[in-house]
Amino acid sequence: MLTSTHWGVYDVAVKDGMITAVTPFDRDPDPSPIGQSLPGAVQGPLRVRHPAVRKSYLDNGPGAARHKRGAEPFVNVSWNEAIDLVAAELKRVTTQFGNSAVFAGSYGWSSAGRFHHAQSQVHRFMNCLGGYVAHVGTYSLGAARTLLPRILMDMDVMRSQQTAWVSLEQHCELLVAFGGVPSKNSQVNSGGISQHEVRPMLKRLAAAGVKFVNVSPLRQDFEEAPGALWVPARPNTDTAFMLGLAHTIIADGKHDRAFLARYCTDFEPFRKYVMGETDGVAKSAQWAAELCDVPADTITTLAHRMTASRTMINVAWALQRGDHGEQPYWMGVTLACLLGQIGTPGGGFALAYGPVGIEGANARPFSGPVLPQGQNGVKTPIPVARITDMLENPGGHYDFDGKACTYPDIRLIYWAGGNPFHHHQDLNRLLRAWRSKPETIIVNEQYWNPNAKYADIVLPATTMMERDDIGSSNRDRHIIAMKRAIDPVAESRSDYDIFTALSERLGTKEKFTEGRSAAAWLRHLYEASAVRARKFDIDLPSFEAFWSEGLIEVPPPLEPSVMMRKFREDPLANKLPTPSGKIEITSPTIAAFNYDDCPGHPVWFAPAEWLGSPLAKRFPLHLMSHQPSTRLHSQYDHGSVSLASKIQGREAMTLHPQDAASRGIKSGDVVRVYNDRGACLAGVKIDDGVRPGVAVLPTGAWFDPLDPTQNDSLEKHGNPNVLTLDKGTSKLTQGCSAHTTLVEVELFKGELPPITAFDLPVFASRS
């Protein structure tokens, strides 16, 4: 039977009620190995098997001994008692403090199934209860999602029409990738992916004569592109690099004046800035070269190649995960406007190819079934990357996207899906707030990961293997009937069953369930999606036929997508949803906000931490904390594929040979990585494909402090987010700035502490 995951579709083999193997989908040309972690993990020892409550909380009620979260035993309780506890606490908090005292901040890709999707389930449940403080944006795209509607269009709308790889194969001559097109990232996709095509398509592009340029500190960011030119610029200097290209293009008179006049607004203020007429500093190739630490003629030569070729500019998601992260995106769009190729086959820009596997697929923008979440009665969401600020500063003020906002006073957190001790920055700061502010933390969780260990009440949730569901994602070419492979492990329940039980206690069951069982919901959602499918010229079979067959193949579009083709053909009939209806190189709206860290057009700002700053004398390595190749974020870090990649049990950090040698470090050593925010241990790999002065430590190692009773303890497993900067990208976007981080590395001496991330918590009997 088939199941869908965020890293692929697999055929699941079961014997005597146990998963024995998963085999990649036979239609997948480049399957991900991550799925091989499933058999050992799903029924392994780390499953949450019973409802559990932190002992002090069980004995003394909400708010008891909050400082002991993560450092004291749990007590197993019955489902009936657990549901009573959670329902009573939700009622207490919402009655005494209002629904704005509840943060239901689910974040993460907990399931590729469209019904049993934890984030949708918890949001629907809370909306039926009157609402909750939600988050807006994502860690992956916080800056982009806020900026792009102001200057172009909604991010998801833009992604749905991204130029297909086959169009590049037929028409593109030069693909310039800022941040590369990392194939390891393309293993995954929110909602699932049935066919991995990025690596095969890059080979096809090369065979068709497309040339590649990788502007990135990491050669591996474009290692699958045959013959790619690597330009190892300093991290966080992409905006300066693009400004140097723009200056060369404008100075040479090669900018497309007709395109700028017809399709864009207010080019002149930007031109004056680039040419130095505004501030007396010309943003020339030489100016950019000094910031980026690359030769000036590399920039000028590339600018000449771009104007002489059908050029696609790719700007990776990673670039906007740094201080002033909106600037490289704004600048990438502006650079494409200068070339005038937006809306042409094989030309323009992409934001981006490579961060997930579906980008560039030759597929219809159809998403399949979607669970309605209802309307949130609380209208004050926070930017997702500002969780610690919210907990530390109830009633505090901050600016966001032109609005003056106030942080709520959070008394209760309900988390279902995701792991804040992976996603968030400056984890030591988050832990202090986590242990001091909320009175109650409740999680639905499958495994005893840090999210569970630092909670008060833990409710055991099923995995995708233990329930029926429908796997489908926007632009994927298959819809999968995900049939239950095994019975629920121990006492685990689906999120739907958990929230149904809670709704019954709280008087919202009819509103939450609409009188449907999980099976009835699957049929209902599928049939609703069949109606929507007709708008895309897709005829879906009956639910019975789909469930019997096991999958549906969605036909590709008649013509490959070319982003903004219609806008280029007739910008008056196909106006963009911006105030001007055009691409806003200069945005009067943003300019009117008067933000000192984000004016009305793209500019260069020096990041808070970078290799050109005075702080680099103390911490001379720029830390890149990117997506791992052996798991999705922190999911299945305890699985066989992820564990096999560890070095002496720790996450592997990659250093340039020069940086390793100067510190007396060799491959296979364990090092201490540190700055003023914290320290962690990591294993070492040495690779000359990393720019000197850069250290690479993937995210997702389960948070594992040396002394769990203390804050600010040494993290011994290799979680880079004890080091990363927790600062909003700007007042406009308030995104994640994780890629703006300086560190130092030293050889760890002495006895290595054991890894305890994969140990179960201690369990106690009740008092």
Catalytic residues: 107, 109
Write the DSSP string, 485-502. Answer: -SPPSTT-B-HHHHHHHH
Q: Which positions ≥6 away from 224 have C-beta within 8 Å?
A: 181, 183, 198, 199, 202, 203
Cα dihedral: 469, 760, 189, 356 (round 10): 180
AA identity, residue 67 = H
- The continuous run of DSSP H or E covering 10 comes out as strand 8-15
Query: At CA 544, angle to CA 542 and CA 548, rounded to 5?
Result: 120
Nearest to 236 by CA among 325, 299, 148, 317: 325
**CA–CA distance, 249 with 528 (Å, rounded to integer):** 50
**CA–CA distance, 703 with 169 (Å, rounded to integer):** 43
21-30's contacts with Cβ under 8 Å and 24+ in sequence apart are 25/194, 25/195, 27/194, 27/195, 27/478, 28/194, 28/195, 28/196, 29/195, 29/196, 29/197, 29/200, 30/196, 30/197, 30/198, 30/199, 30/200
Contact 340, 258 (CB under 8 A): yes
Q: Is 67 helix (H, G, I), strand (E, B) or coil?
A: helix
For residue 364 the two structure tokens come to 């219809």
**CA–CA distance, 742 with 608 (Å, rounded to integer):** 10
Write the DSSP string, 221-245. Answer: GGTTSTTPEEE-PPTT-HHHHHHHH
Nearest to 165 by CA among 426, 350, 309: 350
For residue 393 the two structure tokens come to 């500063």
Q: State yes or no: cis peptide before 764, omega within 30 of 0.
A: no
Beta bridge partners of 442: 414, 457
Residue 397 has a CB neighbour count (10 Å cut-off) of 9
Write the DSSP string, 77-144. Answer: --HHHHHHHHHHHHHHHHHHH-GGGEE----S---SBSSS-HHHHHHHHHHHTT--B-EES-TTTHHH
**CA–CA distance, 118 with 659 (Å, rounded to integer):** 43
Q: Is the dihedral of CA 642, 647, 648, 653 positive or negative?
A: negative
**CA–CA distance, 653 with 658 (Å, rounded to integer):** 15
Q: Is the dihedral of CA 294, 296, 302, 303 positive or negative?
A: positive
Q: Is 180 helix (H, G, I), strand (E, B) or coil?
A: coil
Beta bridge partners of 177: 214, 314
